[in-house]
Structure 1
Amino acid sequence: MTPNLARIPNLARIPSLARSARPARPSRPAPTGFDRRLIAPMIIGSVLNPVNSSMIAVALVPIGAAFGAPPSQTAWLVSALYLATAVGQPVVGRLVDTYGPRRLYLIGTALVGVAGLLGALAPSLGALIGARVLIGFGTSAAYPASMYLTRSEAERTGLKSPAGVLTALSVANQTVVVIGPTLGGLLIGAGGWRLIFTVNIPLSLACLVLGSLRLPKHPFRAPSAHRTPDAVGTPPTKRAVDIPGMLLFAAMLVSLMLFLMEPGVADLYLLGLTAAAGTGLFLRELRVREPFIDLRVLGGNPPMLATFLRQFLSFTAVYGFLYGFTQWLEQGRGLHASAAGLLLLPLSLSALIVSSLTGRREAVRAKLVVGSVVQIVACALLLVVGSGSPVWLLAAVGLLMGIPQGLNGLANQTALYRQADADRMGSAAGLLRTFTYLGALGASAATATFFAHGADTHGLHELALFMLAGAVLLLVATLLDRSLRAITPTTPTTPVSGKA
């Protein structure tokens, strides 16, 4: 017989019984579909890097004029951010896999706001480059965190291919990349180049507020071969952090980039340092129990390695055009920064339209083939552009270049989602972004080389040949990759739900 707790005297003096006697407070049920509350912080956080990488394209010439620096020196404003991000993305991705996305997201986005303020107040080119380094590290957190959350939600809901969410991330990033120069040009026209750094402050605050309110402390993770059923709904398993591996990786990239920015016989020792650091990284990662970059996993996953290669080749051409063509418009064509930004609007529109129309259809191989062919045509068209070319021809080149911008990045992101192990989604997403930024670093080094004495038409044509070679290699790599045929389109089984 169950006792009547209401008749027990002094019940309030018995805390355990008092709590059990109260009716349980109903907990908020988890959404049956993808939790739409996550989408806003995911998208805003993931666009922090592209907005900073694209707006600077139209600011390089004004910044150079302000500090009396040639293009070979202002190129470090591009390279510094990408070098920091190329190192930071896999590092932070590894930390996301280890500690979960929330705290890394909040720390990274806060750093972006601080760096934006420092950049707006920078008294010299060196200080400005330092601010760009901080921005690179700060923006390294949001994309791995977003991909981790996407995979976590897919496991919770049983959604095999959350194409809508992946498309939203890709479209947002692609759109910001191509709109960035136009926005940057308008800001420079309104108040000078320092305004492009202050944009980071409100974006950072938005990320901090939304991230604090909406990102889960313990995202759902389903059991797998590496986790027991008890791990469901608990924080990720804490793994050792491979600090020596991270340092070797950073040393390899930094020494390589220092050589590529100003190649010469006197700097060949940098290639030696690159080889030494790379060899040390290879040997360590094969021996350590919890490697920073699991070479055994990568070696056993050739399709994912092919995806990394395609990402590198694709974005070498994309960023070569973004930085090289934009500088040429200002110096070789004599346009103001705001006019150069407006002339890139066709690029923005075509990339946005293509991404939006094709986003929900995986069709990875078809997108890559079409994207690489159009990229070849656009790079070839650059060879006939000159200082006297009509505006419609310049806009047409941008229009064509936006098509592969809208296709290739989305296709590679979808391929990675299908190829990567769920336990290492953060690390894999970080590495994908690393290869994106390695392409940007290659493009920046090429731009510095071909524009060593100014952004003239001859240098633009040399850059176009460089980009054309990369686009041809992208097409060949796509046609030879038979694994892409195995990525068949899947139909989402669970709709996106919840409040935005």
Structure 2
Amino acid sequence: MSEQNVISEVKKPRLLIVAIALGVILNPLNTTMITVALPSIQNEFQLSAGDISWLIASYFIISAIFLPLFGKLSDYYGRKRIFLGGLGLVAISSFFAPLSPNMMVLLGMRSIQAIGTSALYPAGIGMVRSYIEKNQNRVIATLAVFATTSAAFGPTISGLLIQYGGWPVIFYVNFPVIILSALLAFKMIPNDQKRTDGRYKWDFIGILSFALLMTSWMIFLESLEKGFDLWKLIFSIVITLFFYYYEKRRSEPFINVHFLTKNLNISFIYIQYVLTTVIFFALLLSIPTYLQKVMMLDSKTAGMMMLSISVFSMLMTPITTRWTESFGFKIPLLFGGMVGIVGVGLLLTANENSPLYWLFLILAIMGISNGTLSISLQNLLYSFVTTKQSGIASGLLMTSRFIGNILASSVYGIMFASGINDESKNGMTIVLLVVSFILIPGMFYITKRGARGTQ
């Protein structure tokens, strides 16, 4: 059956998009819902800040590895099959994770969950490209927004529910989304067409070296709390160079580094996205714990406080989209960057005696910054790529987000290794302030030339 006939099979494309969108939000929600639960998990299993950072970072490392892998596997073995298989893995992990008797079992269940959720975005993007003909790029951009800004609601959702069911509830809350997404997917997504143009060529060395690359940098960053380890740094650099030059020579690489080197402007957008994610996710990780352990708030109140960053981030998405359509990308990006500097700077003024409205205001400012930067960078990216390049561009965008998440969890593990208090919070804030200033010159670079892609 031709692709055009498959497109004509889709009678209700909006419901197909809903099925995909529901699956797509599972990854970002599960990366952040755990943030409010961290104090409870830490107390129950007697974990250190380093243990907690690995519980978080392992999810991102696995996601960063499997997201591009599933993108390729779904092309060869069927996007509907991969999508439904991903939902199944999330369901299994969400059922057994709350029963975990120790840290290792919980880590294993989180790993299975990461693998499952990583299948959903690339398979979903592939289905949009195959089955949605009208406004295809706009739908892809919308799903990219779903996959990022929905993360901001994770702490609020978990904060409201944990008070009534403890930390296990952050896994059970997945089931309504899984069930609805699966039902719509079964009904609305056309069956996969069997490919006859060969089998998938596994890049095992590329996959393993990328996994080693991510893990080695995480180990190096975590070790900084005890001092600088030159050999770990050298090893990480060597693995990175090996991965780059190996993948550059591959005709079908695991990560298309040739695409990145050929399109430097796009590569700088990814770097900006990594740095923006570092700031955003470091706040999502640390503030809920700070609110509960330093300001002595319950999980419900902490979750409600985090609502400020999520609501304002979401509100800025449509506003910024219209803003960039009218005035281009430079002004919104610079606005988001400068507002972020103000917000991070004001975080230095907050302490355990600060009124809640003051912290709420600071988080709202950070939400405005993140919402403006995220959607501007995503839309700028899609303005530089052609329709044919949208798949690889969106996949690398998600990989960039996970790299930012990994770096943020490293900052969290290092700065709060000796405990969470005003001093450690301020130390993290200074790091984020430096990152915020680094963003500004990059914004001038990525907006100095006009977009050349098609929308």
Please give the TM-score of this superposition, normalised by the length of structure 2: 0.90
Cα 1:397/1:214, change in 2 over 3 Å: same
1:198 to 146, 168, 172: 172
**Residue 154 of structure 2: aligned partner:** 180
**Residue 113 of structure 2: aligned partner:** 135
After alignment, is 171-180 or 393-402 more displaced? 171-180
1:73 aligns with 2:51: yes
RMSD over aligned CA atoms reads: 2.8
For 2:31 and 2:56, how far apart are their aligned partners in 1? 7
Letter in 1 for 2:319: L
**Residue 89 of structure 2: aligned partner:** 111
1:401 to 366, 380, 385: 366
Q: Number of matched residues?
A: 447
Conserved? CA contact 1:170–1:409, under 8 Å:
no
Letter in 2 for 1:436: R
**Residue 273 of structure 2: aligned partner:** 311
For 1:415 and 1:98, how far apart are their aligned partners in 2? 30
- The structure carrying a bigger helix percent of its residues is 2
Conserved? CA contact 2:94–2:172, under 8 Å:
yes
**Residue 253 of structure 2: aligned partner:** 291
Displacement, 1:179? 1.8
Displacement, 1:167? 5.7
SS in 2 for 1:387: coil
1:256 aligns with 2:217: yes
CA offsets 1:266-323 (integer angstroms, 9 cap, x no match): 8544334323322322232232222112222221111221121011010000011111
1:351 aligns with 2:316: no
Displacement, 1:325? 1.7
SS in 2 for 1:385: coil
**Residue 335 of structure 1: aligned partner:** 297
2:241 to 271, 274, 279: 279
Cα 1:273/1:106, change in 2 over 3 Å: farther
For 2:253 and 2:148, how far apart are their aligned partners in 1? 32
Conserved? CA contact 2:10–2:190, under 8 Å:
no
Conserved? CA contact 1:382–1:397, under 8 Å:
yes
1:384 aligns with 2:344: no
Letter in 2 for 1:115: S
Conserved? CA contact 2:93–2:112, under 8 Å:
yes
**Residue 123 of structure 2: aligned partner:** 145
For 2:157 and 2:141, how far apart are their aligned partners in 1? 23
Conserved? CA contact 1:99–1:235, under 8 Å:
no
Displacement, 1:49? 0.9
For 1:426 and 1:489, how far apart are their aligned partners in 2? 14
Conserved? CA contact 2:384–2:452, under 8 Å:
no
Displacement, 1:29? 8.1
Letter in 2 for 1:262: S
Structure 1 residues not aligned, in runs of 5+:
1-26, 220-232, 491-500
Cα 1:302/1:459, change in 2 over 3 Å: same
For 1:445 and 1:271, how far apart are their aligned partners in 2? 15
**Residue 433 of structure 1: aligned partner:** 398
Letter in 2 for 1:258: I
Displacement, 1:89? 1.5
Displacement, 1:234? 7.8
Cα 1:172/1:429, change in 2 over 3 Å: closer
For 2:449 and 2:313, how far apart are their aligned partners in 1? 23
CA offsets 1:325-361 (integer angstroms, 9 cap, x no match): 2211111212122211111122122112111333465
Cα 1:65/1:43, change in 2 over 3 Å: same
CA offsets 1:20-59 (integer angstroms, 9 cap, x no match): xxxxxxx998289992132111211110011111111111
Displacement, 1:439? 0.9
For 1:116 and 1:235, how far apart are their aligned partners in 2? 36
Please give the TM-score of this superposition, normalised by the length of structure 1: 0.82
For 2:436 and 2:173, how far apart are their aligned partners in 1? 33
| Identity rate, percent | 29
CA offsets 1:220-262 (integer angstroms, 9 cap, x no match): xxxxxxxxxxxxx988875523121111111111111122123
After alignment, is 468-477 or 309-318 more displaced? 468-477
Conserved? CA contact 1:75–1:448, under 8 Å:
yes
CA offsets 1:189-219 (integer angstroms, 9 cap, x no match): 0110111111223322333222222223459
For 1:425 and 1:235, how far apart are their aligned partners in 2? 24
For 2:390 and 2:198, how far apart are their aligned partners in 1? 14
1:445 to 410, 417, 423: 410
**Residue 163 of structure 2: aligned partner:** 189
Cα 1:33/1:267, change in 2 over 3 Å: farther
CA offsets 1:36-87 (integer angstroms, 9 cap, x no match): 1321112111100111111111111111111122222222221111111111
Conserved? CA contact 2:137–2:390, under 8 Å:
no
Letter in 2 for 1:450: M
SS in 2 for 1:30: helix
Conserved? CA contact 2:320–2:375, under 8 Å:
no
Cα 1:29/1:148, change in 2 over 3 Å: closer
After alignment, is 473-482 or 256-265 more displaced? 256-265
**Residue 476 of structure 1: aligned partner:** 441
SS in 1 for 2:33: helix
Conserved? CA contact 1:91–1:430, under 8 Å:
no
For 2:32 and 2:184, how far apart are their aligned partners in 1? 24
**Residue 495 of structure 1: aligned partner:** none
